[in-house]
A and B are shown apart, each in its own frame.
Chain A
Amino acid sequence: MATREIQPLKPHLNDPLFHPFWEGAQAQKLMLRQCNNCKAYQWPPRPMCANCSGCSFSWVEGDGEGRVYTYVVAHRAFHPSFEDRVPYILVVVDVAPGVRILGNLLGTPPEKVKIGMPVSVEFVKQLGGSTLVCWRPKSE
């Protein structure tokens, strides 16, 4: 029997609420959703703007810079696709007013991750072709 390759957990690219985010990542752009009516960032994507109940949105490019608001170091894999990656770091990054984005922190040993540290976006191609939004400590 052929061994089956373990597939990573892919984002659902055809989910219309998230499609432009992933399309942007593919093009190396961090795309954020903004309400056309009140101009507030609307995050995470939901059908209606929580600020003004508007239903019309545009996607605008963020600058890809931010600071770590919080993090977690995962020592145990809860899906086989993460087994060869533990321990891995997840950071929550403040990227714009009201917008925090989760991603893996690259190029950093777990003991070096710190809340408040400045990070820059880095786009990482997954096995299977999707591009994820990840983060790397900003060189001071």
Chain B
Amino acid sequence: MRPSQIKDQAVIIGIGETRYVRGTGRSELLQILEASIAACRDAGIRPSEIDGVIAPGLPILRVEDYAAGLNIRNLSFSGRVEMGGASATAALGHAARAVATGQAKYVLVATGWNGYSSMRLGQCGDELLDLITTIFPNPSLRRNLEHPYGLLVPMQYYSLHANRWIYEYSLEKEAVQAMATLAITERKHAQNNENALMKGRTLTEEDYYASPMISEPLRLLDCCLETDGAAAVIVTDAETAKSSKHRPVYIVAAEEGHPASPDDIISRPDILEMGITRAAPRAFEAAGLGPEDIDFAEIYDCFTFIVLRQLEEMGFCKRGEAPIFVHERGIGLDGDLPVNTHGGLLSQAHVLGMNHIVEAVLQLRGEAGTNQVSGARIGLVTGYGDLGDGSIAILRN
């Protein structure tokens, strides 16, 4: 397949985030509007200038609600992306193509949810089933062949993947050690982030191994946080971005991918195949770059092990070698590939991956504070969601 060519035609000119919290009385929409307004202010545009809107991540989010809330009068491009956690980064690609073709001038990509106050994936009960059948594809398959046996939440599906990976590459010890390293590294990064839930709460290896097993091999501290909040970005064309007050952050490539079959992980011929397996080679080809060119990576981290798997599928190392990569190359701020420099979904907040895009922009503007990767020129963002969908964006300054 020929990768889509948007290279350097689109720029992220605005970013916005709410405070990330556990416990809010505010609706998803209100928080999304707040983040969107912040992104407009950062971009130096009025909300009414937005003419493209994408609502990624959750079926409850509707473009019309965004447009009405922001008083957008001239909407010429809209879309919803339903790839779970892969949606935000996939939406960035749609936004880039829309501005590159002139379909819209300013595209808002905004999402958020009350992952703590209402849509808790860690709860136990009938409400959880309603939530899962809302967010996952093919509810009739879920209700028939999976729920009666107790296969219910995303982490249980993903554990089927993790255990097969561990088996095929004999990673019984190595995988868990690398998962612990990742959790600890992201927690360290969160200590320097004012808007990270886990700022002020350090994490040791002892804490990691003492945390309860939830879905073998995943412990509580392998799981993302449940939080409330929203984040947004504004994408425009490279020409318009020239008048921006910020250092431009170009979208070099943005691709999505879906494994076969995207609605079913159980009978997938190779359970290690993910959407990013297909998307990453396209993105690197379109960018004319390779993994060795990437200065930092904000990798979707709903669970620790899936970060390791994405590193492998993107070609940073071979399958089964992510644990070696993590320990020998390093994923901290002083490592070869700093990963999730904001603390990620594990230690900053779960904003469906929009916070990963915001952090990548901060890094490429040189505004990432204490966690700034020195000399960062090229960054990578990924998304992972539903039953293995994937997305990848390569950004540069």
Contact = CB atoms under 8 A, between A and B. Distances in A.
Interface of A: 8-12, 15, 17-18, 21-22, 43-45, 50, 69-80, 82-83, 85, 87-88, 90, 92, 98-104, 110, 115, 126, 130, 132, 134
Interface in B133-186: 140-141, 143-153, 156, 159-161, 163-164, 167
Contact of A73 (B129, B153, B215): B215
Contact of B149 (A12, A15, A90): A90
A15 B152 contact: no
A93 to B, nearest CB: 10
A130 B145 CA distance: 13
B167 to A, nearest CB: 4
A101 B150 contact: no
Nearest to B212: A75
A17 B147 contact: no
Given A103-B149, A132-B148, 17 more contacts: A9-B148, A10-B148, A11-B144, A15-B140, A18-B140, A18-B144, A44-B267, A72-B159, A73-B215, A75-B215, A76-B212, A76-B215, A77-B124, A92-B160, A92-B266, A100-B267, A101-B145
A9 B129 contact: yes
A44 B124 contact: no
B152 A79 contact: yes
Contacts of A21: 144-145
B264 interface: yes
A85 B152 CA distance: 14
Contact of B156 (A17, A72, A83, A103): A72
B213 interface: yes
Contact of A79 (B125, B141, B213, B269): B125
Contact of A44 (B123, B266, B269): B266
Contacts of A80: 124-125
A3 to B, nearest CB: 16
B129 A79 contact: yes
Given A9-B129, A92-B266, A104 B160 contact: no
A43 B267 CA distance: 7
Contact of A76 (B129, B140, B214, B271): B214
Contact of A72 (B125, B143, B215, B269): B215
A88 B141 CA distance: 21
A102 B150 CA distance: 10
B164 A99 contact: no
Given A18-B140, A44-B264, A78-B152, A69 B164 contact: yes
A18 B123 CA distance: 28
Interface string B332-345: 00000000000000
A116 to B, nearest CB: 8
Nearest to A10: B148
B155 to A, nearest CB: 9
B222 to A, nearest CB: 12
A52 B208 CA distance: 49
B65 interface: no
A85 B267 contact: no
Contacts of A18: 140, 144-145
Contacts of B205: none
Nearest to A7: B126
Contacts of A9: 129, 143, 147-148, 150
Contacts of A8: 148
B27 interface: no
Q: Which of B128, B213, B261 has the most CB of A within 10 A?
A: B213
A43 B212 CA distance: 35
A18 B145 CA distance: 9
A44 B261 CA distance: 10
13 contacts: A8-B148, A11-B143, A11-B144, A12-B143, A15-B144, A18-B140, A44-B266, A75-B215, A76-B215, A79-B152, A82-B150, A90-B160, A100-B267
Contacts of B151: 72, 90, 102
B150 A85 contact: yes
Q: Which of A21, A73, A130 has the most CB of B within 10 A?
A: A73
B215 A12 contact: no
A122 to B, nearest CB: 13
A75 to B, nearest CB: 5
Contact of B128 (A43, A79, A87, A115): A79
B171 to A, nearest CB: 13
B194 interface: no
A104 B123 CA distance: 22
B216 interface: yes
Given A78-B123, A115-B164, A104 B266 contact: no
